[in-house]
Amino acid sequence: MSEEVDRSEIDDIDSYGLPRIPLRGHYDVKRCDKRRQWVEKFSSTNLQHIGEWWANEGSDDSCSTTKLKGNAENVIGLAKVPIGVAGPLLIHGDHVNGHVLCPFATTEGALIASATRGATALSRAGGVMVQVGQQRMLRAPAFLMRSTHETRVLWDWLKENFRHFKQQVSLFSQHCVLIGMEPFYFGKSLVIQFVYETGDAAGQNMTTSATWHACKWALKKVEEELPGIRVVKFYIESNVSGDKKMAAGHLQSSRGWFVQAEAWIPEQLLRSVLKIDSKTLLQAHQTLQEGAIRVGALGSNVNVANVMASVFIATGQDVANTAESATALLHMSAVSKEELEEAQKKLFYHSDAKVYNGDTKVEEGGVYISMQLPSVVAATVGGGTMLATQKECLQIMGCHGKGTVRRLVEIIAAFALALDISTLSSIASGHFASSHERLGRNKPESGLREVHLNNEFFSKVVGSRGTLVDWTPMKVDAGTSIISELTKTEISKKVGHFGYIIHYTTNSGEVMEWPVVIKSKPLDSETATMINKMAQACGLELAVQYEKHKLDTGFRSCHTRELAIVQMEDPKLKQFLPEIYYSVSSISKDMFVYVMEYLSDENFTHLNTADDISGWTTADIKVVLRDMAKFHALFMDQLEWLQKQPWMDHAHSRETAMKLRPLWKAMLANALREFPEFWTSQVVELTTKAIDSADAMWKIFDRFPQTLIHNDCNPRNICIHKAGSVQHVSDQTDDDPRLICIYDWELARIDVPQHDLAEFLAFIVYPETSIYKRLELIEYYIVMLEKYTKQKYNRRNFLKVLDAATLDFQLNRLNMYTMAHTFKDYRFLERVVRSNSAYLLQRKSDGHLKFITMAAKL
């Protein structure tokens, strides 16, 4: 709560004994805070977040409550709306020529991503041509007369005195220029639409003031010069201006800025970026046009209002002007190859844009799209544009201050076109791949929910340790848990990692503070469906293939598999796992939850280091390789038992691999298209040969003993106990007393141990590292595996199996990572792809990998 209110300053009861908001007209921080405290008391709420002012409150006019006069009344705080940037978008206009970012203030998920996708397509096509026309700001006062004859006489007089009106307007505003007057007759009423240009300001307030003073002057002059007529009543606004309203007039003549944007998109770009073909896109556009006509929509577009509202909020515009500003006409038509080539010559002439991966090379026809926005009301000076965050958002676009409003309008139009083409493409392609699937189709009461995290739950966690006192949430860094991250935003139940601090009393009466982490698993079907949604957004072929094979990619039973493994009682395995305190596994309730120890920097090193491996020394790497060999050795003689477990996934077989080849090729095509900078043609060629050689690769896996592998074995899921912090019983006899802790076992499976080794080395070895250094690490792992299995392994055979496992990691896992990377930036990915590829290309250069070259020839 705020500081105690000084009642001597509070006047919150009016003369009728009714409550009223106190301290009206005051804008200093102290009184704004007191006003907020009054609201807290009045509404029985705590307005802690609303009351957070600017970090540098009062340092300048843009972040001072005293300067909010004219922007808001009865101020009690600030609204924090998320701001993201869309783009970059290549724009060619009279006031913009280059790549531009655009800030969107919105809480609508996927909006900015969609606008960015559209910007990518348009930029690769050569950019957007924009033209901004005339500005017209309207104010429409009404004069009530005694007859229609008097309305005609009055209009004739007003028309003859137009130049005097201009002079009167100039007396009251330096920026407001009267450029025209238009009459509207309504019986005995005459409405005059005053047309202004207002420069960099939106001009709604200044035109109101200027019109008021000019009309007051006119009323006085009419009384002097036209004694035979009388103005019965005068109103400053009649609604004919269409201020903040959807109106047909905004299409016929502007209120604000008139601006147009256009672009030409080749067929191959439609397919590669927007995942659509021109025929389907044009059919969808026609359907939406027909729908707009049927409901009587003003204009025809997809969702221009989203751009207007989010950009207006971000940049301090009057958001109510979205009503007229979003009036737009989207046009689309097919164009020939020759028309596209001619258009691209013009587009690339205007910029330094380079042909991107051949996408802009015209091989067939495409579409022409244009957007007409006749009434964009925008400003770069005055009003909310002077506030701190709004000012910064305008600066992102180079649009703050005098002389920049035309640039702003051009940018808005270009991004409106980008969002519309992206959204329309999504609508048009939605039927291609099971978009009807919903992750939230479970029973309302299914899955872990907030209501389940109660005293009863935490008492079971405490168990025999003592008696629960209380529990509070604790923020935890879940790292880059991709599966949970992908699904948790799409389903209503709690999924992912959640930290809590538990206080309990021991049997001896001592109060203990105990941090724990709850992990709640999504179902395998929920995970597969979420990945399927990503595949749909990556193109038709990938969507179709993933839909066919979504549970053959290793995710079947992933929600039960991890719980089964962490609940194993084998002390030799448990020494490598986080300590598990409590678990719930309920098929009927779709609840798969366990409570584990909190992995903190106090007891562990190398937590969540996938993005930055600079802290890993050779000694650290060898600790992981040694313990990896140890847990691999544990299960080499337990295969029969493992294979009988209901939670074990058996998809990684030769038969499944042969079926998955079309999916792998579709993912590889997406990787090359989206990230050619590290999925180079050389890497793609090698990976394609591996796909074609799947049969030969899987025969190689039969040459080595299988075991339980983690199958997600990298620094995202591995850390190291600090020396002296290990609490599990260990038979460690090596010089280094540390042990690894390996977690997130949802993808574990039966396979050759080289799979884990290949993945860990791809993550932990820099791409430029000598292959001999990598081979030294491989040799160390082999020695450790021989030690714990008491077996000897032929080095040549081991490396051949490792090569096949490294290729499998490339086409299976790195392909999947790359698909996710299309939607979220995983910093580690480029390094890992380059590292894995560098090893494979060097091995091929050294005369190995012959099994894929021979199979490819066959």
Ranking 189-198, 543-552, 568-577, 804-813 by mean pLDDT, the lowest is 543-552
Q: How far apart, in whole angstroms, are the C-alpha atoms of residue 17 and residue 39? A: 18
- Tell me the per-residue pLDDT of 583-619, one tens digit each, with 9 for 90 and over: 998 888 888 999 999 999 999 999 999 999 999 999 9
CA proximity to 247, closest of 185, 289, 193: 193
Give the pLDDT score at 437. 43
Kindly tell me if the per-residue pLDDT of 765 is higher than 60. Answer: yes
Task: Tally the C-alpha atoms within 13 A of residue 738's C-alpha that lie toward its C-beta.
Answer: 22
Q: Mean per-residue pLDDT for 769-782?
A: 96
- Positions marked active-site: 108, 244, 318, 436
Contact of 527 with 558, CB cutoff 8 Å: yes
* Buried/exposed code over 76-114 (b: 16+ C-beta within 10 A; e: otherwise): bbbeeeebbbbbebbbbbebbeebbbbbbbbeeeebbeb
pLDDT-based confidence at residue 204 (cuts at 50, 70, 90): confident
Q: Where does the pLDDT of residue 734 fall: very low under 50, low under 70, confident under 90, or very high at 90 and above?
A: low
The string of pLDDT tens digits covering residues 787-801 is 999 999 999 999 999
Residue 323 has pLDDT above 50, yes or no: yes
Cβ neighbours for 570, distance < 8 A, ≥ 6 positions apart: 634
Q: Which two tokens stand for residue 177?
A: 């220029």
Instruction: Say how far apart CA 347 and CA 97 lie, in whole Å.
Output: 11
pLDDT of residue 348: 60
DSSP 740-808: EEE---TT-EEE-THHHHHHHHHHHS-TTS-HHHHHHHHHHHHHHHHHHHT----HHHHHHHHHHHHHH
Neighbouring CB atoms inside 10 A of 484's CB total: 19
Instruction: Report pLDDT for 432.
Output: 33
What is the C-alpha to C-alpha distance for residues 46 and 824, in angstroms, rounded to an integer?
A: 35
Q: Could you tell me which residues are beta bridge partners of residue 32?
A: none
Give exposure, 529-563, as e/b (b: 16+ Cβ within 10 Å). Answer: bbbbbbbbbbbbbbbbbbbebbbbbbbbbbbbbbb
Distance CA 468, CA 450 (A): 18
* pLDDT value, residue 593: 94
Quote the CA–CA distance of 657 and 490 in Å, as a whole number.
30
Distance CA 593, CA 559 (A): 9
Quick one: average pLDDT of 260-286?
Answer: 89
The predicted pLDDT at position 636 comes to: 92
- Tell me the average pLDDT across 135-164: 92
DSSP label at residue 438: -
Residue scoring higher pLDDT (622 or 546): 622
**Rounded to the nearest 5°, which phi and psi values hold at 337?**
-60, -40
Rounded CA separation 537/543 (Å): 8
* Residue 263 contacts residue 369 (beta carbons within 8 Å): yes
Residue 152 in tokens: 């005609």
Beta bridge partners of 130: 261
Contact (Cβ atoms closer than 8 angstroms) between residue 325 and residue 308: yes
Percent of the chain with pLDDT over 70: 91
Mean pLDDT of 651-670: 90
- Give pLDDT tens digits for 798-847: 999 999 999 999 999 999 999 888 878 889 999 999 999 999 999 999 99
pLDDT-derived band at 4 (thresholds 50, 70, 90) equals: very low
Please spell the DSSP secondary structure of 673-742, one letter per residue: HH-TTTS-HHHHHHHHHHHHTHHHHHHHHTTS--EEE-SS-STTSEEEEPTT---S-----SS----EEE
Which of the listed ranges 68-82, 476-490, 564-578, 829-843 does the model predict with the highest average pLDDT? 829-843
- The C-alpha angle with vertex 480 and arms to 633 and 838, in degrees rounded to 5, equals 65
Of 9-13, 113-117, 557-561, 664-668, the least confident: 9-13
Say whether pLDDT at 672 is over 60.
yes
Residue closest to 730 by CA, chosen among 565, 569, 573: 573
Q: What pLDDT does residue 355 have?
A: 39
- Whole-number pLDDT of residue 478: 62
Six token digits for residue 515: 């941090």
Q: How much is the average pLDDT of 10-36?
A: 85
User: Does pLDDT of 361 surpass 80?
Assistant: no
Which among 1-15, 153-167, 336-350, 828-842 has the top mean pLDDT?
828-842
- Contact between 324 and 258 under an 8 Å Cβ cutoff? The reply is no
Calculate mean pLDDT across residues 342-351.
Answer: 66
Rounded CA-CA distance 501/513 in Å is 7
pLDDT, averaged across the chain: 86
Instruction: State the Cα–Cα distance between residues 119 and 87, nearest whole angstrom.
Output: 5
Identity (one letter) of the amino acid at 350? H
- Tens digits of per-residue pLDDT, 41-52? 999 999 888 888
How far is Cα 431 from Cα 844, in angstroms, rounded to an integer? 43
CA distances 397 to 39, 90, 280, 415, 656, Å, are 37, 12, 34, 12, 51
> How far is Cα 168 from Cα 189, in angstroms, rounded to an integer?
23
Amino acid of residue 810: Q
Could you report the per-residue pLDDT of 646-656, keeping only the tens digit for each?
A: 888 777 788 88
* Contacts of 618-624 spanning 24+ positions with Cβ under 8 A: 618/777, 619/736, 620/720, 621/764, 621/777, 622/736, 622/777, 622/780, 623/720, 623/736, 623/738, 623/739, 623/740, 624/718, 624/720, 624/740, 624/760, 624/764
Query: pLDDT value at position 78?
Result: 87
Return the amino acid letter for 361.
K
pTM: 0.71
Q: Report the SS3 class of residue 210.
A: helix
What would the pLDDT profile of 521-537 be if each residue is shown by its tens digit?
888 888 887 888 788 77
Q: Is the pLDDT of residue 440 over 80?
A: no
